[in-house]
Structure 1
């Protein structure tokens, strides 16, 4: 059991789980918008997510404590380097226009982790996008929506129809919803300067906002030109599951609640697509 726990922790902390979630959400886009599956893009999304998330999470630790890194972090660094090389390999197989937009999202990810803003804007030593009050969840939402919706459409050469933009906005809302349990969990640890949603309005109001945004997420499905019973049922199912995760979240939940179960929602979404 101990070895299984270690493997699960490595799976989560190395960002493989969140990468699988982003991959699943991208594949859902391919299915819903009837785009041909491009495995070069899907592999790129998977390995770039691992590279990007590990860069954001461990940049500070590696920068300041590179001589005393724990063994587990050293292993994640080597693993991340391997994923970075694979990311480059699959990137060269994508279209030039897709690569241009990838560069935009990569720049946002870089600025999200690396200090570049004036020090007087912050109470702590971090001066990156991640630490600007109230912006964290929106940056993540925009990047996820861009990677999981806009990149597949660009790479396929498809038209940016109203359904595409509605889908992108839905992804943005869903990512915001999935972030709420994380922000509630980290309420006792986050700096007040982050101005997260629970910090500004409290846990109860955060859950109310979550329910409202979930209803908006569901209603957007009815505005699409291609409206099918299957997509309505699947969107309703994911909406209800996400709402339940938000309502049952609290500061005492373990890391597995959000880092594994909540982040499994996109994976479950893809599985439901295959089941139906």
Structure 2
């Protein structure tokens, strides 16, 4: 029973939806801004689950797969279809509600906010090639080493740009120091990209067979850890330390934010041996939850940023 519940939470992408909400809250907590409305968090949870389910679902009648996640989608196809209708309806309902109740705020949102959000959404759609092939057949996921930075960019934008933009729409609140937001974005981009590269290590053999030159395929697992993951996480840490210096964050806040980076490095060095799909979904994605919890907790020990 426990195994079925675990598979349900992680294979059905509910945990990823929780991560989207938690990381969005972390951004606002670290910028010492008020939280978004509950409908917004329902929207991003539903949109995240819907997006990843489209990406990984398989058509009915597919052959039995040795991949546990693919097989779960095959055997739960009817549930997935109903679930997708439900989450699409939630997204549509909240989107219409925002359009009606916040119409003037939406049209008065500065153009640069719309351009940033449009760029993030475009990258997200192109990453999995979700548009009909008759429209465009380009798929950013097949770009080898670049794909990790693309999905890292999408996630960083989704949990950094969107919550702040929505806060301006809902409450008219602006970030007083945009540079702080930039450093947080860079930190999250590096961490999310490292997270994606760690997932690529799971698909090392499959990617090698189709000649998809991810870092793991091109450099090997050990070199990917030493010469890609460690530098990326170091850049992310440096970005946070820059923010900590200029924002005068307390030592306790800095300590809390060190924990995820250390955790990532520890887990990275365990990936030289093959792991199960659930290991990656629980442990590696779980590191993002650790990051969110530590970021939120650390924000309580700095009264404000200036």
Q: Give the TM-score normalised by the residue count of structure 1.
A: 0.85
SS at match of 2:254: helix
What is the aligned counterpart of 2:232 among 188, 199, 213? Answer: 213
What is the aligned counterpart of 1:62 among 55, 59, 62? Answer: 59
Change (3 A) 1:102 1:234: same
Report the counterpart of residue 122 of structure 1 in structure 2: none
Change (3 A) 1:235 1:271: closer
Report the counterpart of residue 204 of structure 1 in structure 2: 222
C-alpha separation between the residues in 2 aligned to 1:180 and 1:243? 13
What is the aligned counterpart of 1:137 among 145, 148, 160? Answer: 148
Count of aligned residue pairs for this structure pair: 264
CA contact (8 A) 1:29 1:149 kept: yes
The 5-angstrom pairing of residues 31-46 of structure 1 reads 31-38=29-36, 39-46=38-45
1:183 equivalent to 2:204? Answer: no
RMSD: 2.8
CA contact (8 A) 1:21 1:265 kept: no
CA contact (8 A) 1:101 1:151 kept: no
CA contact (8 A) 2:152 2:192 kept: yes
Structure with the greater alpha carbon radius of gyration: 2
- Unaligned 5+ residue runs, structure 1? 119-125
1:75 equivalent to 2:79? Answer: yes
Superposition deviation, residue 168 in structure 1: 0.6
Superposition deviation, residue 248 in structure 1: 0.8
Superposition deviation, residue 182 in structure 1: 1.2
Superposition deviation, residue 198 in structure 1: 0.7
What is the aligned counterpart of 1:265 among 262, 267, 287? Answer: 287
Change (3 A) 1:156 1:256: same
SS at match of 1:252: coil
1:237 equivalent to 2:259? Answer: yes
C-alpha separation between the residues in 2 aligned to 1:140 and 1:14? 19
Report the counterpart of residue 226 of structure 1 in structure 2: 247
- Unaligned 5+ residue runs, structure 2? 63-72, 169-173, 301-306
C-alpha separation between the residues in 2 aligned to 1:227 and 1:220? 14
CA contact (8 A) 1:112 1:130 kept: yes
User: After alignment, is 169-178 or 179-188 more displaced?
Assistant: 179-188
C-alpha separation between the residues in 2 aligned to 1:104 and 1:219? 26
C-alpha separation between the residues in 2 aligned to 1:21 and 1:255? 18
What is the aligned counterpart of 1:248 among 270, 282, 286? Answer: 270
Superposition deviation, residue 27 in structure 1: 0.9
CA contact (8 A) 1:19 1:46 kept: yes
Report the counterpart of residue 123 of structure 1 in structure 2: none
Report the counterpart of residue 128 of structure 2 in structure 1: 113
1:140-167 deviation per Cα after TM superposition (whole angstroms, max 9, x unaligned) = 1111011100111112222361110110
CA contact (8 A) 2:125 2:131 kept: no
CA contact (8 A) 1:173 1:217 kept: yes
Q: Give the TM-score normalised by the residue count of structure 2.
A: 0.77
